[in-house]
C-alpha cells in the first residue's frame, strides 16, 4: 500500500487507454490524479484548482501541449509541466523545453522513466514498486534489464526555498548580472538543458553551480567535467564508465561521469572542445537518457540534468563542421551569456571586496585589506582580458606584495604605461588635485559639456587613431615594435596603420627609423 501524497496531478491525453495507463501508474505512487482529453477540458480543470504538475501529450484534438504551456505561463501558474512527444521528434522536445516545460518524455513511454521524471519534477523519490523477475523486463537488445534494490519513499514534505552559496558568490549589482540571476532562478525550475556562454574567466561554472543549487536537485551530486582536459582515447570510459576486463588495466567496474551525476547535474565545461566522435555518443545518451559502459552489453538508465559551457561561438563551430548541429540544438535550449568584466565595471568594487575578504579569510588575516581610491580608479581603466579570474590573481599578488591594510597603485603590478597614463589623466581631469599639508583636496567637478558630433566620422576617427599612434611612438622613443606591442599590435599591423594615416617617424616626428 503506497503512502498517501499531498501532490495532485493533471494528466492530459486524448487516447483513453493511455490516459488510464498514466492514471493507474501515478495512483500507485500515491498521487491525487485528474484527467482531461483536450486543451479546453484541461483549462477547465485548471480554472477550478491548482495542481502540483501537469502532464500533457503534445498532440491534442483542439490544439497542442504547447498551447497549454503558454496558457500556464500567461496565467503566472506555478505547476510544473511535463510534455509527452512522438518518438524521435527532437524539434518538439526542444520547443517544449523552450516554452517552459520542466521535462519531456517520448513515446512509447517507459513507465519507470515516467515515474522518475514525475518524482523529479515534484522533488521527491518515486515510491517503491513490487520487485519483478528480471527476465520479464527485457532491455532494448533482449538482455535482462537491471533491477535495482528498492529505495524507501522520501518524505513528501514540501521542499524549503533553496539557498545557493554559488549564487551568493556572484557579486555585482549591474543590470547585466541582475539579468543573469533572473535567468538562473527561472531555468532552475525545469530540466531544460542550459548552455552558459562567455569569455574565459567570467565565472561560467559559478552560474552552472547556482542553477543546480537553486533547483530541486540541489541536494544531489553536481559533477563538473572539463571536456578539453581529458585525452580523446579515455573520453568514452570517463563519461560512461567501464566493466572489469573491458581493456588492459580495467581491473574492476568503474562508474563514469553520467552515473556519478545520477539524480543530480552534469556540467560539461568547454563543450566546444569535445571531438566529433564523442559528440555523437553524447547525443545518443542525451536522447535515450541511458549510457552503455565500455565492455557492457546493455544500457543503464540515468536521470541527469545537463548543463554545458563554452567560450567558443558554437554556431560558428557548427558552420565550420567542428560541432554537430543536432547536438548544438539539444544543448542550446536555453542560453545564458555571462558578461565580461569590462562590460560591468560598476561591479568592480563589490567583486574586489568579496575576493579580498576570501583571500584574507583563507590566510587567517584580519581585517581584510582594501583598495585605495586611486588603485580602484586604476583598475577601472584596465580591460581585464582574463576577466574575474585575472582580477582574482591580480589581487592575490597585490595582497602578498602590500603586506598592509591597503592596496595601492604600485601593489597592483599593472603595466607602467597604464599607471603613467592614469597619472596624466588624473592631473588633467577637471583641474589637478592639490595638497594642503598632508591632506589631498579634490578639485570641484566641472559641469559636463556635450561635445559636438563630427561632420565626417571617418576623418574624425582617423585623426584620433593618428594621435594615439603618435603618442605611443613618442612614449617608446619611436620604436615601432614596442609602441605597437603596448597597444596589442604586431609590427606589421603598426606599419600598415602608420602608412595608411601618414605617420612618418623619420620626418614629421623627428625620430630615427627603427624597429
- Comparing 234-243, 260-269, 405-414, the range with the smallest average pLDDT is 405-414
Query: What's the pLDDT score for residue 164?
Result: 67
Query: What's the pLDDT score for residue 387?
Result: 92
CA 329, 333, 337: angle at the middle one, nearest 5? Answer: 110
All three cell numbers of 51, joined, read 495542481
158 burial class (0-12, 13-18, 19+ CB within 10 angstroms)?
Answer: exposed
Which of these CATH numbers, 3.40.50.2000, 3.40.630.10, 1.10.8.60, 3.40.50.20, describes 342-434?
A: 1.10.8.60
Which of helix, strand or coil describes residue 71? helix
Query: What's the pLDDT score for residue 439?
Result: 41
Average per-residue pLDDT for the chain:
79
Query: What's the pLDDT score for residue 135?
Result: 29
User: Nearest 10 degrees: CA dihedral of 340, 346, 352, 354?
Assistant: -100
Average pLDDT over residues 218-236: 91
Average pLDDT over residues 12-39: 90
Query: What's the pLDDT score for residue 277?
Result: 92
- Comparing 25-39, 106-120, 173-187, 453-467, the range with the smallest average pLDDT is 453-467
pLDDT grade for 510, boundaries at 50, 70 and 90: very low
All three cell numbers of 430, joined, read 577637471
- Comparing 33-37, 55-59, 143-147, 283-287, the range with the smallest average pLDDT is 143-147
Query: What's the pLDDT score for residue 3?
Result: 47
Query: What's the pLDDT score for residue 54?
Result: 94
Q: List the one residue out of 330, 234, 226, 346 whose CA is nearest residue 284.
A: 330
Q: How many residues does the chain have?
A: 515
For residue 490, the number of C-alpha atoms closer than 13 Å in the C-beta half-sphere is 2
Neighbours of 337 (CB within 10 A): 16
Query: What's the pLDDT score for residue 443?
Result: 38
Query: What's the pLDDT score for residue 95?
Result: 79
The verdict on whether omega for the bond into residue 447 sits within 30 degrees of 0, i.e. cis, is: no
Query: What's the pLDDT score for residue 283?
Result: 92
pLDDT grade for 454, boundaries at 50, 70 and 90: confident
Q: Is domain 457-501 given the CATH code 1.10.1760 in the classification?
A: no
- Class of the 165-244+253-339 domain? alpha beta
Give the separation between CA 216 and CA 452, rounded to whole angstroms: 55
Query: What's the pLDDT score for residue 515?
Result: 57
Q: Would the pLDDT of 495 be above 90?
A: no
Q: Where are the domains of the chain?
A: 8-128, 165-244+253-339, 342-434, 457-501
Q: Is domain 8-128 given the CATH code 2.40.110.10 in the classification?
A: no
Query: What's the pLDDT score for residue 427?
Result: 47
Q: Would the pLDDT of 31 be above 50?
A: yes
Average pLDDT over residues 140-158: 33
All three cell numbers of 108, joined, read 512509447
Q: What is the pLDDT of residues 394-404, one digit of tens each?
A: 998 888 877 77
Give the separation between CA 37 and CA 12, rounded to whole angstroms: 6
The rounded percent of the chain whose pLDDT value lies above 90 is: 31
- Comparing 28-42, 101-115, 222-236, the range with the smallest average pLDDT is 101-115
Domains 8-128 and 165-244+253-339 share a fold: yes
Q: How far apart are the first and last CA of the chain?
A: 86
Query: What's the pLDDT score for residue 421?
Result: 55
pLDDT grade for 42, boundaries at 50, 70 and 90: very high
Helix (H) or strand (E) holding 80: strand 80-85
Query: What's the pLDDT score for residue 270?
Result: 94
Q: Would the pLDDT of 37 be above 80?
A: yes
Higher pLDDT: 369 or 432? It is 369
Average pLDDT over residues 383-397: 90
For residue 335, the number of C-alpha atoms closer than 13 Å in the C-beta half-sphere is 13
How far from 334 is each of 66, 186, 343, 425, CA to CA, in Å?
17, 10, 22, 43
Amino acid at each position: 500500500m503506497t503512502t498517501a501524497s499531498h501532490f495532485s496531478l493533471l494528466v492530459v491525453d486524448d487516447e483513453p487507454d493511455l490516459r488510464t495507463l498514466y492514471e493507474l501508474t501515478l495512483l500507485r505512487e500515491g498521487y491525487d490524479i485528474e484527467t482531461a482529453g483536450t486543451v479546453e477540458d484541461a483549462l477547465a480543470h485548471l480554472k477550478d484548482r491548482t495542481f502540483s504538475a501537469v502532464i500533457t501529450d503534445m498532440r491534442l484534438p483542439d490544439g497542442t501541449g504547447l498551447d497549454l504551456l503558454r496558457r500556464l505561463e500567461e496565467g503566472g501558474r506555478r505547476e510544473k509541466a511535463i510534455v509527452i512527444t512522438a518518438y524521435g521528434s527532437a524539434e518538439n522536445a526542444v520547443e517544449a523545453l523552450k516554452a517552459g516545460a520542466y521535462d519531456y518524455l517520448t513515446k512509447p513511454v517507459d513507465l519507470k522513466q515516467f515515474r522518475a521524471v514525475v518524482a523529479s519534477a515534484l522533488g521527491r523519490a518515486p515510491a517503491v514498486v513490487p520487485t519483478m523477475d528480471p527476465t520479464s523486463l527485457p532491455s532494448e537488445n533482449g538482455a535482462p534489464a537491471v533491477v535495482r534494490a528498492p529505495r524507501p519513499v522520501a518524505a513528501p514534505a514540501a521542499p524549503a526555498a533553496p539557498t545557493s552559496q554559488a549564487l551568493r558568490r556572484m557579486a555585482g549589482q549591474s543590470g547585466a548580472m541582475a539579468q543573469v540571476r533572473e535567468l538562473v532562478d527561472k531555468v532552475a525550475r525545469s530540466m531544460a538543458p542550459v548552455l552558459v556562454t562567455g569569455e574565459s574567466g567570467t565565472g561560467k561554472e559559478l552560474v552552472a553551480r547556482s542553477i543546480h543549487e537553486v533547483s530541486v536537485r540541489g541536494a544531489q551530486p553536481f559533477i563538473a567535467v572539463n571536456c578539453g582536459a581529458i585525452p580523446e582515447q579515455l573520453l568514452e570510459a570517463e563519461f560512461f564508465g567501464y566493466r572489469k576486463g573491458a581493456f588492459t588495466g580495467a581491473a574492476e567496474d568503474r562508474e563514469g561521469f553520467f552515473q556519478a551525476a545520477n539524480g543530480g547535474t552534469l556540467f560539461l565545461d568547454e563543450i566546444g572542445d569535445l571531438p566529433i566522435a564523442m559528440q555523437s555518443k553524447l547525443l545518443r545518451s542525451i536522447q535515450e537518457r541511458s549510457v552503455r559502459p565500455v565492455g557492457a552489453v546493455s544500457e543503464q538508465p540515468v536521470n541527469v540534468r545537463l548543463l554545458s559551457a563554452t567560450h567558443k561561438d558554437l554556431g560558428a563551430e557548427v558552420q565550420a563542421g567542428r560541432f554537430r548541429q543536432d547536438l548544438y540544438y539539444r544543448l542550446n535550449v536555453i542560453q545564458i551569456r555571462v558578461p565580461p568584466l569590462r562590460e560591468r565595471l560598476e561591479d568592480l568594487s563589490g567583486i574586489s571586496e568579496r575576493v579580498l575578504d576570501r583571500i584574507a579569510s583563507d590566510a587567517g588575516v584580519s581585517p581584510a585589506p582594501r583598495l585605495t581610491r586611486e588603485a580602484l580608479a586604476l583598475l577601472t581603466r584596465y580591460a581585464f582580458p582574463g576577466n574575474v579570474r585575472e582580477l582574482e590573481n591580480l589581487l592575490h599578488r597585490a595582497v602578498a606584495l602590500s603586506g598592509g591594510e591597503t592596496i595601492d597603485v604600485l601593489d597592483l603590478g599593472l603595466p607602467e604605461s597604464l599607471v603613467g597614463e592614469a597619472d596624466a589623466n588624473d592631473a588633467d581631469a577637471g583641474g589637478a588635485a592639490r595638497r594642503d599639508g598632508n591632506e589631498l583636496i579634490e578639485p570641484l567637478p566641472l559641469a559636463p559639456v556635450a561635445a559636438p558630433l563630427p561632420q565626417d566620422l571617418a576623418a574624425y576617427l582617423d585623426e584620433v587613431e593618428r594621435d594615439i599612434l603618435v603618442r605611443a611612438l613618442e612614449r617608446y622613443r619611436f620604436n615601432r615594435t614596442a609602441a605597437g606591442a603596448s597597444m596589442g599590435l604586431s609590427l606589421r599591423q603598426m606599419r600598415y596603420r602608420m602608412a595608411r594615416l601618414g605617420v612618418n617617424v623619420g620626418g614629421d616626428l623627428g625620430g630615427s627609423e627603427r624597429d
